[in-house]
Chains A and B, each alone.
Chain A
Amino acid sequence: MTIPIEALKRKKEHFERGEDRRALEDPRAELLALEDKGELVVQKIDRETVTVATKFGREKRIQKAHLWHHKSCGQCGHIPGYSTSIFWVMRKLGYDYHDPRDQTSCTAWNYYASATSNSAAQAAVAVRNFAAALETGYFPLIHCGTSYGHYKEVREELIRHPELRAEVRAIMAKLGKQLVLPEEIVHYSEWFHALRDEIAAKQVRDVSGIKVTVHPACHYYKLVEGDAIYDPDIYGGQRTAVVTGLAQALGAEVRDYSTWFDCCGFGFRHILVQRDFTRSFATLRKIEVMKEEADPDVVLTHDTGCVTTLDKSQFAAQAHDRNVGVAVMSEAQFAALAMGAHPYKVCQLHWHSADYRPVLEKMGIDWERAWAEFEADIKRLERGEKRYLDWDDVDS
């Protein structure tokens, strides 16, 4: 399908919501105003940045280095190559970071799935993590799309409601911390987007023959929509630019499909306790539509639940002869592969379910040899030669 970009550019009139019905246009300015009043502390960006545009035009600065990695429980737990690839790419680009133990998840599982939390608890968890980042001097980078979206919701609630700020400040005081929020809430996929040219400059594998479909993550661009990155040169600014911008910079062929706006079917509680819905939605509304309309080699997305859902939901559908069977990974893993990362030692693709081997072959990767290398490393661990593999091992 075609987005009427030229016609949109010529339009003189635009729908606008009333002022009281919009999301905050510039949360950064609101935070700084509250800081001036002594209500909270804003962690400032203090290193080199790349400036990008958000949905309604506000500029957002993405700090390049000295980043505090707010990890994702789903990525670390079930798709560890997702987290590892983010770290690996950052290391290859020469940017320093901190991987903290003084970090909890956003705990939004208890908010969106089971509702066994409340706004004060969620705000306190977010602020505790941000205060921990400030203590280290590293600037937060959020790995999970849900954490990123949820923290933006929390930021809005804290800005709008003085009584919530007072409650969270009192709780933080008990922890010996202040009410801290960062100047910008930044998702890792925004960092990858902002640095896509630097990433492409380090590319060693040709991906020009790879057909890609992109699933934009709901909690990235639907929750507090104004803060997500858009670019007039990508989809005419009518869809978020992250993931697609990176895939294009790497030279992959991004193909479109009609249900791009649909969620993946994750559903939070559904993926754990009502998975028939998740499986059905992921296959019928996403994977099959992509296969039929775009025939991708790989589906790229940028959130924990989306990778899990789109990847894991395909196995059972095969038993029903559904039109499934396409690799799913994060754009971080795809970028790492393009930059020469090991498919198992770094990208950890053996944790994935849908068959990723054909896309590796198209990228010129001998996966059988790579697997033998990984197994050799595992044998070293089994023999007790090493307790753990480290970064030197994965690049050897």
Chain B
Amino acid sequence: MTETDAHYKAPAVAGHVDVPYAEKERLFEQVRSDIRFGDYLYGCYECGICVAACPSARFYDFSPRRIAQAAAREDVELVYQQMQEDIWECSQCFSCLRCPRGNNPGGLITIMREVAVSNGLASAKEALKGYSRIIYKIMSTGTQVSPDMLQQDAFPDWGPETADVSGNLDLWRRALPPETLHTTTTGWAVADRTLIELYLIWLHTGALDLISDVDPGLHAILQELMEERLEEEGIEP
């Protein structure tokens, strides 16, 4: 940091302790080197169509146009700030794909989020607080939205029907005519062999290791679960 920077620059970015410029460059380089980056960014007319279409822009201090512009200008400081703040406000609806230049700000955000998660950025840790169970469910069962998640304490704003569902869950699931839907802890019955194949995918693509910094406890639990299961099957992880 130069003397001028030290005098004028705020010590924090989006409420998180600032990091050296070189670290921001390293993070930006991770974003830029992703194979999807070139498919998602072509330039910006500053027309604002993406902002007009964006649901998050209506409710937050958020702009998909700024995301595309910061990436196009290679504004390392601004991209870092966005990775510590803005990216978690995106709804990932991809309304911004209305862009006449063919930009995909939502896709850029997907990449920026992945870099934030894999590097254990403070914003990622904050955003994923309370999210461990979801990650666990998807990685361990191959499905996410399970019937037993419908509990009134988790969804008090969804009306009394939630309590009806959880109170009658086993019977109501057994009343479903498709044989695969009699489950309560997963959306449907997933075959054992299918799960083993899924675990191999998580392990070999580095997807499991993505969470090692942001949620080390969950990472350890999932790693043990997957490796034990593979060992039972006599499969080298």
| A interface with B by C-beta (< 8 Å) | 15, 17, 21-22, 71-78, 80, 83-84, 87-88, 99-105, 107, 109-121, 124-125, 128, 132, 149, 156-157, 160-161, 163-164, 167, 170-171, 174-175, 177, 218-219, 222-223, 225, 261-263, 265-270, 272-273, 275, 277, 279-281, 285, 304, 312, 315-316, 345-346, 348, 350-353, 374, 377-378, 381-382, 387-391, 393-394
Contacts and interface: CB of A to CB of B under 8 A. Distances in A.
A77 B143 contact: yes
Given A84-B177, A157-B36, A261-B53, A175 B197 contact: yes
Interface string B32-44: 0011100100100
A161 B35 contact: yes
Contacts of A394: 177
B189 interface: yes
Nearest to A74: B145
B165 interface: yes
B207 A377 contact: no
B179 interface: yes
Interface in B172-199: 172-182, 186-191, 193-195, 197-198
Nearest to A272: B134
Interface in B139-155: 139, 142-147, 149-150, 155
A218 B177 contact: no
A267 B36 contact: no
B20 interface: no
Interface in B12-53: 34-36, 39, 42, 53
Contact of B159 (A124, A312, A345): A312
B175 A76 contact: no
A125 B159 CA distance: 35
A25 to B, nearest CB: 13
A101 B42 contact: no
Nearest to A20: B42
Provide the main secondary structure of the chain B interface.
helix
A83 B145 CA distance: 14
Nearest to A392: B177
A114 B143 contact: no
B164 interface: yes
A284 to B, nearest CB: 9
B9 interface: no
A330 B53 CA distance: 24
Contacts of B72: none
Nearest to A149: B94
Contacts of B211: 116
Contacts of B157: 275, 279, 312, 315-316
- A-B interface, 5 closest residue pairs, ranked by CB to CB distance from nearest: A104-B142, A115-B113, A76-B187, A315-B159, A121-B207
Given A110-B138, A266-B93, A388-B174, 13 more contacts: A73-B145, A84-B176, A103-B190, A104-B198, A107-B142, A109-B144, A121-B202, A163-B35, A263-B91, A273-B129, A285-B58, A315-B158, A381-B174
A269 B180 contact: no
B102 A22 contact: yes
A128 B59 contact: no
B127 interface: yes
A100 B129 CA distance: 34
B131 A280 contact: no
Contacts of A120: 205-207
B210 interface: yes
B204 A174 contact: yes
Given A101-B191, A377-B175, A223 B181 contact: no
Contact of A114 (B55, B135, B158, B180): B135
Nearest to A275: B157
A222 B93 contact: yes
Contacts of B190: 101, 103-104
A101 B189 contact: yes
B177 A171 contact: no
Contacts of B129: 273
Contacts of A76: 143, 145, 180-181, 187-188
**Most chain B CB atoms below 10 A, which of A112, A118, A394:** A118
Contacts of B124: 115
B95 interface: yes
A370 to B, nearest CB: 13
A222 B39 contact: no
B1 interface: no
Contacts of A161: 35
Given A281-B59, A389-B175, A263 B93 contact: yes
A353 B159 contact: yes
Nearest to B128: A114
Contact of A388 (B138, B182, B194): B182
A78 B181 contact: no
Contacts of B35: 119, 157, 161, 163-164
Interface in B82-124: 88, 91-95, 97-98, 100-102, 110, 113-114, 116-117, 124
B161 interface: yes
Contacts of A111: 110
B171 interface: yes
Contacts of A73: 143-146, 186-188
A116 B177 contact: no
A84 B161 contact: no
A391 B177 contact: yes
30 contacts: A17-B101, A21-B101, A71-B187, A73-B146, A73-B187, A80-B147, A84-B178, A84-B181, A87-B178, A107-B144, A110-B135, A114-B128, A115-B124, A119-B34, A121-B205, A124-B204, A124-B205, A128-B201, A170-B204, A222-B94, A266-B91, A266-B93, A272-B131, A277-B60, A285-B58, A348-B176, A350-B164, A352-B161, A388-B176, A394-B177
A109 B138 contact: yes
